[in-house]
Amino acid sequence: MTITSSANATSDIETRKTEHLRVCLQEDVESPNITTGLEKYRFNHCCLPELDRSDLDLTTIFLGKSLKAPILISSMTGGTSLAHLVNTRLATVAQRYGLAMGIGSQRIALEQPQVAPTFAVRHLAPDILLFANLGAVQLNYGCGLDECLKLVDLLEADALILHLNPLQEWVQSRGDKNFKGLLNKIAQICLQLPVPVVVKEVGNGISWSMAKQLIDAGVAAIDVAGAGGTSWAKVESQRAKDKKQQHLGQVFADWGLPTADCINSIRAMNSRIPLIASGGLKNGLDIAKVIALGADLGGLARPFLSAAVESEAAVDELVTFLIAELEIALFCTGNANLTALKNSGALQPC
């Protein structure tokens, strides 16, 4: 599908969102050298699992909500007609398979209420774990508790994601660069918002020391969103018209903490905080690896985006593949469920 945008016909934010979709679907946006770190691990094969396929159980509970598999359709988009189609297809399949789903940044819905329906998917997915989403930096640009409540209510969401993207904002033309005092503001939102707050990065990772500060601030869960997949510095570089911004995005295309390193360091510091691992995951084997490392859910974005642009059937097929891959990882390590996989020690450094 060819994606085009017109700056004369849309707002700056809407144009940017359309360009993000175009670049992610049509350009090379992978970090050129840094990897997720997951390739450094391999499962010990169990040749005699002592299991029947019917014994396998992928169900889990995250933030009090039951899921049929530990899969998150990570936050991607909203605010455009294509985004509405993508979100509709993703939500329909998420409901069918009992997955969790995040929505792209809803800032545009605050500024342009007419695009709010492009995010509203609860009627299609009444039972799923659904995340609203706002850039944390917007707490320094006029957003507060009322705006967060509005976004949660708009989506009928179970939780709110506040995403951290300092590198992307720096590389983005006219990006918001005032991150001063945000930790205290995040703490206030955590205290006052009636639903859990999740903090995530967008592909550069969260260190154990930063995770500790966020946990102390009251964050209910963390999505490490590590490096090794889509580089948003590279995305912004490819859409930038300014030569300096193009240059900066290329220089910092490999910036960040690998996904596996983030999981390991945070789990060494805190064994209890609900943890989502995203950033470069491509298949069910990657999801199994992050679960074995200590994450509770595995999140994928670009594979779901590519499938959703194609068709609902393509999204359905992707999910069936992910589930089958997860089941094989459980079966061939001799583990009947996710808890057993976490505690098995089956994943070893290569």
Output the CA–CA distances (angstroms, integers) from residue 11 to 15, 83, 272, in the order listed: 6, 15, 42
pTM of the model: 0.94
Cα 122 to Cα 336: distance, rounded to the nearest angstrom: 32
The answer to whether residue 27 scores a pLDDT higher than 90 is no
Tell which residue, 153, 128, 122, has the closest CA to residue 72.
128
CB 215 within 8 A of CB 270: yes
pLDDT, position 26: 87
> What's the pLDDT at 303?
96
What share of the chain in percent tops pLDDT 90? 87
**CA dihedral sign of residues 308, 125, 274, 180:** positive
Which has more confidence, 333 or 24?
Answer: 333
* Average confidence (pLDDT) over 14-27: 84
* Average pLDDT of every residue of the chain: 94
Q: How confident is the model at residue 7 (pLDDT cuts 50, 70, 90)?
A: very low
| CATH code for residues 34-349 | 3.20.20.70
What distance lies between CA 221 and its chain's CA centroid?
A: 12
Q: Which positions ≥6 away from 262 have C-beta within 8 Å?
A: 205, 206, 207, 208, 224, 226, 277, 279
CB of 172 closer than 8 Å to CB of 135: no
Domain extent listing, the chain: 34-349
Give the tens place of pLDDT for each residue, 138-173. 999 999 999 999 999 999 999 999 999 999 999 998
What average pLDDT does this structure show over 64-85? 94
Q: What is the mean pLDDT of residues 92-119?
A: 96
pLDDT at 138: 98
Q: How many Å apart are CA 131 and CA 94, to the nearest integer?
A: 13
Is pLDDT at 130 greater than 90 in this prediction?
yes
Contact 327, 56 (CB under 8 A): yes
How far, in Å, CA of 95 to CA of 88, rounded? Answer: 11
List CB contacts of 24: < 8 A, sequence separation 6 or more. 230, 235, 302, 305
Mean pLDDT of 179-206: 98
For residue 60, CA distances in Å to 57, 69, 218, 220, 283 come to: 9, 7, 23, 17, 18
Q: Evaluate if residue 186 carries a pLDDT over 50.
A: yes
